[in-house]
Structure 1
Amino acid sequence: MSNLRDHGEPHQQVVKQAISWLLRLRNNASNPKLQAQCERWRTAHPEHELAWQRVQSLQLELSANLRAVPGAQVALHTLEQSAQRLDRRQALKLLGGALLLGSAAWLGREQMGGLQWNADFATATGERRGFQLPDGTRLRLNTDSAANLDFTAGQRLIKLARGEIMVTCGSSLTPTPGQPLRVQSEHGLFEASTARFIVRQERDCTRLSVTSGSVAVLAPQAADGAPMRVQAGQSYLITPALAAPAPPLAMDPGAWVDGLIVTRNMRLADFLKEVSRYRRGHLACASQIADLRLSGVFRLEDTDKLLAIVAQTLPVQVRYRTRWWVTVERQV
Structure 2
Amino acid sequence: MNDMTMPRSASEWITLLSDEPDNPDLRARHDVWLESSAENRVDWDETLRVWQMLDMTVPVHVAEWQDGIEQVQPTVAREDRVTAMPDADPIATVRGRRAHPFWQRQLSLGLSGFALVACLLVFAVPGWMIDLNADYLSPTGEMRVVELPDGSMLHLAPDSAVALDFAGDERQIELLRGEAFFDVVPMADRPFRVISGETETTVLGTAFDVRRGGYGVDVAVEHGRVRVEHTRGDRPSELGAGDMIHVGLDGSFVRQTIAPELVAAWRDGRLIAKDQSVAEIVETVDRYFDGWILISDDALGSEPLTGIYNLEDPKKALAAVADAQGAVLREISPWILMLSSK
> Shorter-chain TM-score category?
0.5 to 0.7
Do the aligned residues in 2 keep the contact of 1:187 with 1:205 (CA within 8 Å)? no
Question: TM-score scaled to structure 2, two decimals?
Answer: 0.51
Q: Which amino acid aligns with 2:330?
A: R
Instruction: Say which structure, 1 or 2, has more relative contact order (CA 8 Å, 6+ apart).
Output: 2
Q: Distance in 1 between matches of 2:147 and 2:328?
A: 42
CA RMSD of aligned residues (A): 3.9
1:262 to 272, 296, 320: 272
Query: Matched residues in 2 for 1:281 and 1:240: separation?
Result: 24
SS at match of 1:112: helix
Q: Alpha-carbon deviation of 1:214?
A: 0.7
Q: Secondary structure at the match of 1:304?
A: helix
Match of 1:282 in 2: 293
Q: Is the CA contact 1:220–1:240 (under 8 Å) kept in the aligned structure 2?
A: no
Distance 1:180 1:325, change over 3 A: same
Which one of the candidate residues 235, 241, 247 is aligned to 1:232? Answer: 241
Aligned length: 218
Which residue pairs with 1:134 in the alignment? Answer: 149
Alignment of 1:120-199 (within 5 A): 120-170=135-185, 178-199=189-210
How far is the alpha carbon of 1:297 from its aligned partner? Answer: 2.6
- Aligned in 2, Cα 1:233/1:221: closer, same or farther, shift over 3 Å? farther
Question: Aligned match of 2:282 in 272, 275, 280?
Answer: 272
**What is the Cα deviation at residue 215 of structure 1?**
0.8
Matching residue's letter, 1:274: T
- In the alignment, structure 1 residue 299 sits paired with structure 2 residue 336: no
CA distance in 1, matches of 2:277, 2:230: 32
1:302-323: CA deviation from partner (whole Å, max 9, x where unpaired): 2123335556767554321212
Structure 1: segments with no counterpart, 5+ residues: 1-107
Of the structure 1 ranges 258-267 and 131-140, higher mean CA displacement relative to structure 2 is found in 258-267
- How big is each residue's C-alpha offset from its partner over 1:200-241, in whole Å with a ceiling of 9 and x where there is no partner? 223464332222211123664975x7x542222223344798
Larger Rg: 1
Structure 1 residue 187 displacement after superposition: 0.6
Residues 199 and 247 of structure 2 are in contact (CA less than 8 Å); yes or no, is this contact kept in structure 1?
yes
Q: Would you say the 8 A contact 1:188–1:240 is kept in 2?
A: no
Is the 1:135–1:177 contact (alpha carbons within 8 Å) kept by the matching residues of 2? no
**Structure 2: distance between partners of 1:219 and 1:315:** 37
Q: Distance in 2 between matches of 1:253 and 1:203?
A: 20
Q: Counterparts of 1:270 and 1:204 in 2: how far apart (Å)?
A: 7
Larger helix share, 1 or 2: 1
Paired residues for 1:60-75 under 5 Å: none
Unaligned 5+ runs, structure 2: 1-122
What's the CA shift for 1:186?
A: 1.7
